[in-house]
Amino acid sequence: MTDVNAVVSEVSKLKQRLDQAQLSFRDASLKSRREIVILKRLITRLSVACRGIDQELDAKLVELRNDLEQPKDISKLIPRLALIERLVTRQAALTEQASQNLEQHIHLSGETLNRVRGLPAQLKRDLRNILSANPDSLGDNHNRLIRLLELYESAVKLLSTSTNQQQNNSIDQDVLVHLSSELQHLITELDFTDDNSTVLLETRNKLLAGVTAESLTEQALIVLRLVINGHHQDRRSTQKFVDGVHSDLAAIKKTAHQNLGQSNALLEQRATVISEFSALSHQMQQGLKEQENLETWRPQLETISTELHTLIERTHALEKRERELLDQLAYNENKVISLYEKTAEHHQSLNQQERKMFLDQLTKVYNRAAFNDRLEHEYRRWLRYQHPLCVALLDLDNFKETNVNFGYVAGDKALKIIARTIHQCLDDTDFIARFDGDKFMVIMPDTTEEERTKRINTIRETVSQLPFHFRDQQVSITLSIGATMFDANDTPPNIIERTQKALNTAKSTGANRLSWIA
């Protein structure tokens, strides 16, 4: 009697454990369905980030999302996949920003060509169509660049074959100087290395020395080709990264599908074992109630015991398969970690490119594009808080003579030193950018009248005292400053125009002067 009670007690404990296991598997099934929803969201975000890079890739990602309609158990992947989701979303924003910068370069080059006189009306119309087009993807921008390059080549051929010398030189000197200055500004915002860097330096030196209309078009074509080549390199790099992410996700999807099938099979077998255990338990309980002589019931008990032993062995086999499934999930987790590290490295590379994109390559201070972004940001803060916001335009006095007398290498060296000196005179919350050639823009938010006046005069005096030595000659370089404050209904373009007026006033009174315009 005691042995039977012990058996009943053990069977009851086994039943409780099996009930708990059944609940655990039910929870795992619910988690699996929830995790598949998260994976689908990641794939959707990845599709948005990669949209327009490659049509075939877009189609494959759509197919992948359709294949994930059924729940899949990938609970171990959720934390890593969430990180990948954020990184890929950020990749989309960076790609959009790169596309916007490319759009600006297209318009700059297009407007430059549009100012050339004597070109056929059809070429002008084609150019206007290019500039007025609204690109939907990077591929559209690529086609616009190719078409713009074709128009530049047509313009060069027309100008070179024309017999009318007056037509060839129809661009007046003021416009030519302005276009040359704009092209120099574009060069300062490009970040190339190796041979491309040398080509840009040579182009810049030619522009500084002065060019004709034909030569300006030739230099613009060189810069445009470099921009196109850089664009192709960026696309190839992005394509390689996205292909790697897609390959890893495809592998994860495949193993997740396999794991789901194994999990469902285990769940069904576990349910069968539990059902058989329950039937045996019920049979034993009925026998205990109905049988008065346990000796006569012994053969049935032995049969039940044999079946229980068999079920226990099946349970051990299921546990072994569960451990194998856990090992497979751990392997998948390592693959996701590897994918995360890969995207983190790509993210770091993009951040470095972004920093370079907003730095002037010569002076290592911010460039004009960065200034426009920062001025817009400070303008919005000023609208909200109405704090004092000062903007100053700094221009080196007669700096062209330094380039002419001592060479452009000496001029570049002076620009680097002066930019560093101005930066050292500013506060941590101030901002400096190379605006154009030998001009710098300074933004000083949240400063009192005394502080900003003292800071600007410190810059002016410190620069004038810098000891430059070129070709055994001591040279003094000064700068003039035009400054103003945001007020009333001002906007960033109004402020830039007013600083230029203030600078003209300062220069009209002599060198090394400061002029304020309210």
3-state secondary structure 375-397: HHHHHHHHHHHCCCEEEEEEEEC
Looking at the structure, tell me whether residues 193 and 274 fall in a common domain.
no
Task: Give me the CATH number covering residue 473.
Answer: 3.30.70.270
Looking at the structure, tell me whether residues 486 and 510 fall in a common domain.
yes
Domain boundary among 317, 352, 387: 352
Looking at the structure, tell me whether residues 383 and 478 fall in a common domain.
yes
Looking at the structure, tell me whether residues 246 and 197 fall in a common domain.
no
Looking at the structure, tell me whether residues 345 and 449 fall in a common domain.
no
What are the contacts of 118-124 at 24+ separation with CB within 8 A? 118/158, 118/159, 118/162, 118/167, 118/168, 118/170, 119/155, 119/158, 120/158, 123/151, 123/154, 123/155, 123/158
Domain boundary among 177, 210, 235: 235
Write down the pLDDT at residue 223: 73
Residue 436 lies in a domain: yes
Between the alpha carbon of residue 106 and those of residues 146, 223, 224, 514, the distances in Å are 10, 11, 9, 37
**Cα separation, 389 vs 370, whole angstroms:** 17
- The length of the chain in residues reads 518
Looking at the structure, tell me whether residues 325 and 392 fall in a common domain.
no
Q: Cβ of 324: how many Cβ atoms within 10 Å?
A: 11
Residue 249 lies in a domain: yes
Between the alpha carbon of residue 472 and those of residues 399, 410, 468, the distances in Å are 18, 12, 10
Residue 132 lies in a domain: yes
pLDDT of the chain along its 518 residues, tens only? 455 666 666 666 666 666 666 666 665 666 666 666 666 666 666 666 666 655 544 555 555 555 555 555 545 445 545 554 554 566 566 666 667 667 777 777 777 777 777 777 777 777 778 777 777 666 676 777 777 777 777 777 777 665 444 444 444 666 777 677 677 666 666 655 556 667 766 776 677 667 777 777 777 777 777 777 766 676 667 767 676 776 777 777 777 777 777 777 777 887 887 887 787 777 777 777 776 666 776 777 778 778 878 878 888 887 888 788 788 778 777 877 877 777 777 667 666 666 667 888 888 899 988 899 999 999 999 999 899 999 999 999 988 888 888 888 888 899 999 999 999 999 999 999 999 889 999 999 999 999 999 999 999 999 999 999 888 888 899 999 999 999 988 999 999 999 999 999 999 988 999 999 97
Confidence (pTM): 0.45
**Cα separation, 362 vs 385, whole angstroms:** 35
Residue 362 lies in a domain: no
Burial status of residue 78 (CB atoms within 10 A of its CB: 0-12, 13-18, 19 or more): middle
Q: What amino acid is encoded at 503 in this protein?
A: L
Looking at the structure, tell me whether residues 255 and 201 fall in a common domain.
no
For the sheet containing 431-436, what is the strand order?
431-436, 439-445, 389-396, 479-485, 514-517
Looking at the structure, tell me whether residues 182 and 310 fall in a common domain.
no
3-state secondary structure 238-262: HHHHHHHHHHHHHHHHHHHHHHHHH
CB 45 within 8 A of CB 230: no
- Return the SS3 of 401: helix
Looking at the structure, tell me whether residues 477 and 419 fall in a common domain.
yes
Between the alpha carbon of residue 90 and those of residues 77, 335, 351, 407, the distances in Å are 20, 21, 11, 44
Residue 361 lies in a domain: no
Look at the chain and report how many structural domains it folds into. Answer: 3
Looking at the structure, tell me whether residues 273 and 209 fall in a common domain.
no
Residue 228 lies in a domain: yes
Write down the pLDDT at residue 348: 73
- Return the SS3 of 33: helix
Looking at the structure, tell me whether residues 381 and 296 fall in a common domain.
no
**Cα separation, 333 vs 427, whole angstroms:** 47
Looking at the structure, tell me whether residues 379 and 507 fall in a common domain.
yes
- Return the SS3 of 474: strand
194-209 and 408-425 helices, crossing angle to 10°: 100
- Going by C-beta distance under 8 Å and a sequence separation of 6 or more, which residues neighbour residue 25? 266, 267, 270
**Which structural domain, as residue segments, surrounds residue 190?**
101-235
Residue 358 lies in a domain: no
Name the residue with tokens 């990602």.
Answer: 61
Domain boundary among 235, 250, 270: 235
